[in-house]
Structure 1
C-alpha cells in the first residue's frame, strides 16, 4: 500500500543529525564520491522523505515536533486543550497553550530543528544530483523536482510557524533572518513549487511521491497565505479541473487506512507499522499521545476537544451553523461531522461496539469529557499497534481535496465572486449532508440529532460569505493541525483566541492567566540556540535576531 517507507538504519548511515543545522558535516560515513553514486543518491532521497514524519532522533519524542502540528495548530487555537495527565504532563505544551512561550521550549526548538533537517536533506540530494555524472537523466530530473517540492514544504512550515527564518540552498548559500525578508522567503517557496510543477508527472506509481497537482495545490496555498487571491484561485483551478480528485463520499471514511491514498488525498505522509523499523518509528510517531483511553486504548489523552469547538457544530432547524458559542445540549441539532471529529459521551466510538464515555477522559476535572476521534483509528484495525508506542499506519494528509475547494472558495470571495465562493463551500457541505451518519449501537437510528444543509440563498455581503467560509473551514478541518494558522493568516487570531479564553477560563481553570498578545504570539520565537549560533556581522550585531515580543 505504501511504497515509500522510512529506513532509519539507512538514514543513520547516510545523514548525520545535529541540532545546529548550519554546522552539519555533509555525510556520515560516505565520501562525496560515494554519495554521488546512483544507489546512494536514491537512499538519500528516501532519507529526505523520511523526515516528513517529524521524527528527528531515536528518542520516540516526535510528539515535540509532530507532522500533524496538533500541538501548534490545534492546541494553540480555540479547538483543543493539551490534555494528558494535568498541566505538568508535557508542561511545555501547557506553557504554549497559555502563551507563556520562549525560545528554549523543547517543542519550539525541536520543530525548528526537524524542519531544517528536512531542508538539509533535500539540499543534500539536490547537490549530489548536480554533481553526479552517472545517473539516468529522466530520473534525475524527476528527483530534482521531488526535492524542490519537499524543500518548498519544509520552508512553508518554517515560514508559517516562525515567520522570520533563515534560508540556505543546495549550493551552501546562506542568508540569516536579517539578510532575507519574510516576503523574499515566500518568493523562494513559490520558485520551488513552480519548478516542481514544470516537471512532476500527473500521477505517481509510488503514492508517497508528489504529483504535478500536489505542487499546484501547495502553490495555491502559498499564494493564499500572501493574499494573492487571483493566483491562488488560478492554481486551485488547475487541481480542481485537471487533478482527477473528488471528495470521499462519507466524511468518516476519509481517515481510515483503506483511504490513505484515496480520491481525496492530494499529498500525504506515508506511515507503516510492523515493517522492521526501530520501535515502529515509521508509524504515526508524532501523534502517539493521542489515544483516548477507555477499554481499548491507552489513556494518554492528549489533544482534547475544547467546549468551544463542540459548540461550533450546533445547527438550527434549517441545518445551518449557530454562531455565538452557546453550549451544546443533548437535544440540540448538530452537524454530523461533530461525532466523526470528537469523542462524545453516549456516542459510539469507531466500530468498537461501545459508546465513548466520559470515564475514558484522562483528568476529567481538568480537561472535560471529550476525546479525540477523527484521526484515531479503530483498535480493531490491523494498522493499529496495540503495544508501545501505540502508533498507527494511518497516513496524515498534508493536503486533501476539501482543503483545495475551500481555498478556491476563499479566493473567490476575496475577489468579490460571492456566488462562486458559495458553490465551493456547498460542495464540502453537501458531502457532510449526504454521507452516512453515525448510528446508535443497535444500528437502528442516528446517534444524535443530525441536521445540516447547504447555503441555499446567495450571500448578502462579502462579510456574510467570509463568515460562512471561515466557519466551514473550522468544521471540516478541525483537529487536522490548521486552525491556528488560519486565524493568524486571517488577521483575527488575537480577537478570536482572547474571546475564546474569556469564557473557557470559567470552566477550565488551567487557562487562567492565558492571554494572546497581538503582534507577538502569531509566531513562535526563534530558538535561542539558533540566535546564539548565528554569529555576528562586522559591526558586532547578531546575524539572527528574535521575533518581535520575545
Structure 2
C-alpha cells in the first residue's frame, strides 16, 4: 500500500466534465456535468477544480492507459531523441511512432506529438478554468485564495514551459478565455520573447505569493517558483539573471542528499533534494493505478521480476560517458566500457549492466533480460526503476510504481548555477559547484557484489583539482557533469538544444552509433528543424487556413 502525506490527486469525473473537456481537436465545447453551475464557485468545488490541475501533471488525461505517449518524465521526448537512450521494446515496429522520433522522422500526425500537446494544453485549460472559478468565489477564504492562485500560476507556468521547450511556437491562452473560440488561437500572435515573458510572469507571481513551505507535499513552494524562474532564464541564456535566481535557492533548506542512490527511492520522495515533483502513488483507490508512474509503464526492464516491455534502453554512448581515468576524472573516448575500466559509480545506479547486481533483488542483471537484444543492446534503465520487492511497485498490469517524477531537484540547480557562472566569467566558482556534485557521487554507497564483499566494478571518481582558466574547458566539464548527473531523467535532448549543440553532438553520436545499432541507419538530425517538434496537424486543421504556422521543416 502506497500512502503519502501529499495533496490528494484524484480524477473526479463529474467535476472534470465541466472544466476539462478538450479532446475533439482540442476545441470541444465545455460540457457541464453533474455539478450545477451555481454550485461551481463554492470553495469545496473550487478546490476540486484546483486538484484537477494537479491530476494531469503525470500526463494521464483519459482512461486509455497510454500516458506513455505523453509521459511526465519526457523519456521519449528528452532521452530517446538524444544520445542517452534507444527506444527499446519489441523492435522498430513496436510503438513505431517513438522510433520515428528516435530517427528524427516524426511528423505532425505522430501520436506522441499530438498526445503531449493535448495533455499540456489540458493542463493549461484546467489552470485557466480554476483561476476563473477561484476569482469568482465569494466565500473562498482571502489568504488561502492568494496562495491557491499562486499555485495555479505556477502550474500554468509549468505547462507552458513544457510546451515552449517542445514545440517552440505555441498559442497562448490565459484565464480570460471563456469560449471555444477563445482557445482557437494562432501560434504566431506572440513572439518567442513574449511567450517567455508570459511564462516568467506566472513564476514571478507564484514566487511573490507562495509560502516557504506547504503542509501538503506536492504543492509548490516559493523556492520552487524561484527555481523554475531560474530554469526559464537558463533556457533564454539570461545568464546573470539565472545566476542571481539561484542564490536564494542555494541558501534555502533544500540541499543534496549524501547518497545519490537514495534520491531515487520512493520511500524518500519529497526529500530535501526535491524542489518540485509530480506526485505518484499506487494502491490509493484510483482505478488502474493511474496516479502511479503511468507514463513510464513501458520502461520495465524485463527479466524474472519485471514485465517485458523493455523501452527506454540506455545507449552504449551513455555507458561509455561514465568511464574515468586512474585519477577519477572523465575519459571521453567513446570506447566501449570493459570490466577492467574505471567508471563513475553513478553508472551502475543509472544503468542495468550484465554482471552487476540489479537493485536489491539478490540477482545479477543479465543481457537476456533485454527485450530484442539484437536491436537495442544489453543495457536497461535502473535509476528510476523501483525494486520489484518494494511495496511501492505494482506487480500486475499496468506495472506502475509510486516513485515521483522530479521536475526540479537541487543537484540540477547547482549545475545551473555552475553553467551561469561560466558564462559570466566565474570559472572557479563553477569548478567548486561541479565538485559538489562529484564529491556527492564519490561519497555515495557504491553498488556491491552479491555477497557484499567488494565493489561491483572499479568505481573511481574525484573532483576537478586543476584551476579552470578556460571558458571552453569549464563549459565542457559542466555540460558533461549535467549529462552524468541527470542521465535517463528526460533532460538531455532539451539541454543539447538550448546549448546550441544538438546538431553537432547528435550527428557525431549517430556517425558511430549506426555501426553499433542498425535501427539508427536512417537517422539524421537536421539543424534548424529537429530542435523542436511539429505543431500537431489536428490543431492546424481545426483552425482557419493560415491561422497556424507549422514549425520549420515539417
The TM-score with structure 2 as length reference comes to: 0.97
Query: 2:316 maps to what in 1?
Result: 307
Query: 2:549 maps to what in 1?
Result: 545
1:200 and 1:299 map into 2 onto residues whose CA distance is 43
Query: 2:510 maps to what in 1?
Result: 501
Query: 2:151 maps to what in 1?
Result: 146
Query: 1:9 maps to what in 2?
Result: 12
Aligned length: 544
* 1:81-160 → structure 2 map (5 Å cutoff): 81-160=86-165
Maintained 8 Å contact 1:202/1:213: yes
| Cα deviation, residue 532, structure 1 | 1.2
Q: Gapped runs of 5+ residues in structure 1?
A: 537-541
Correspondence 1:512 to 2:521: yes
1:466 and 1:134 map into 2 onto residues whose CA distance is 53
Query: 1:361 maps to what in 2?
Result: 370
2:196 and 2:45 map into 1 onto residues whose CA distance is 32
Provide Cα deviations, 1:2-26, integer angstroms capped at 9, x if missing partner.
Answer: 4223212345444343333344416
Query: 1:214 maps to what in 2?
Result: 224
Query: 1:192 maps to what in 2?
Result: 202
**Equivalent residue in structure 2 for 1:382, among 374, 391, 399:** 391
Residue 398 of structure 1 aligns to a residue whose secondary structure is: strand
Residue 413 of structure 1 aligns to a residue whose secondary structure is: helix
Provide Cα deviations, 1:442-462, integer angstroms capped at 9, x if missing partner.
Answer: 100000000000011111300
**Equivalent residue in structure 2 for 1:49, among 36, 50, 54:** 54
Q: Which moved more, 1:424-433 or 1:2-11?
A: 2-11
Maintained 8 Å contact 1:16/1:27: no
* 1:165-204 → structure 2 map (5 Å cutoff): 165-172=170-177, 175-204=185-214
1:166 and 1:21 map into 2 onto residues whose CA distance is 12
Provide Cα deviations, 1:275-300, integer angstroms capped at 9, x if missing partner.
Answer: 11111101000000011011111111
* 1:46-445 → structure 2 map (5 Å cutoff): 46-172=51-177, 175-241=185-251, 243-445=252-454
Query: 1:473 maps to what in 2?
Result: 482
| Cα deviation, residue 136, structure 1 | 0.5
| Cα deviation, residue 327, structure 1 | 1.5
Maintained 8 Å contact 2:20/2:126: no
Maintained 8 Å contact 1:21/1:120: no
Maintained 8 Å contact 1:320/1:454: yes
Residue 486 of structure 1 aligns to a residue whose secondary structure is: helix
RMSD: 1.1
2:154 and 2:307 map into 1 onto residues whose CA distance is 37
1:32 and 1:469 map into 2 onto residues whose CA distance is 53
1:27 and 1:100 map into 2 onto residues whose CA distance is 40
1:455 and 1:343 map into 2 onto residues whose CA distance is 27
| Cα deviation, residue 463, structure 1 | 0.1
Q: Which moved more, 1:165-174 or 1:254-263?
A: 165-174
Residue 15 of structure 1 aligns to a residue whose secondary structure is: helix
The alpha-carbon distance between structure 1 residues 24 and 456, as it changes in their structure 2 partners (threshold 3 A), is: farther
The alpha-carbon distance between structure 1 residues 532 and 248, as it changes in their structure 2 partners (threshold 3 A), is: same
| Cα deviation, residue 36, structure 1 | 1.0
Q: Gapped runs of 5+ residues in structure 2?
A: none
| Cα deviation, residue 513, structure 1 | 1.0
| Cα deviation, residue 435, structure 1 | 1.2
1:123 and 1:18 map into 2 onto residues whose CA distance is 13
2:355 and 2:44 map into 1 onto residues whose CA distance is 55
| Cα deviation, residue 181, structure 1 | 1.1
| Cα deviation, residue 193, structure 1 | 0.2
2:543 and 2:174 map into 1 onto residues whose CA distance is 17
1:151 and 1:32 map into 2 onto residues whose CA distance is 24
Query: 1:539 maps to what in 2?
Result: none
| Cα deviation, residue 248, structure 1 | 1.0
1:433 and 1:526 map into 2 onto residues whose CA distance is 44
Residue 304 of structure 1 aligns to a residue whose secondary structure is: strand
2:206 and 2:31 map into 1 onto residues whose CA distance is 25
Provide Cα deviations, 1:453-474, integer angstroms capped at 9, x if missing partner.
Answer: 0011111300000000000000
* 1:522-533 → structure 2 map (5 Å cutoff): 522-533=531-542
| Cα deviation, residue 324, structure 1 | 2.7
Maintained 8 Å contact 1:5/1:272: no
Correspondence 1:462 to 2:460: no
1:434 and 1:252 map into 2 onto residues whose CA distance is 11
Residue 51 of structure 1 aligns to a residue whose secondary structure is: coil
Residue 375 of structure 2 aligns to a residue whose secondary structure is: helix
2:439 and 2:32 map into 1 onto residues whose CA distance is 51
2:544 and 2:135 map into 1 onto residues whose CA distance is 29
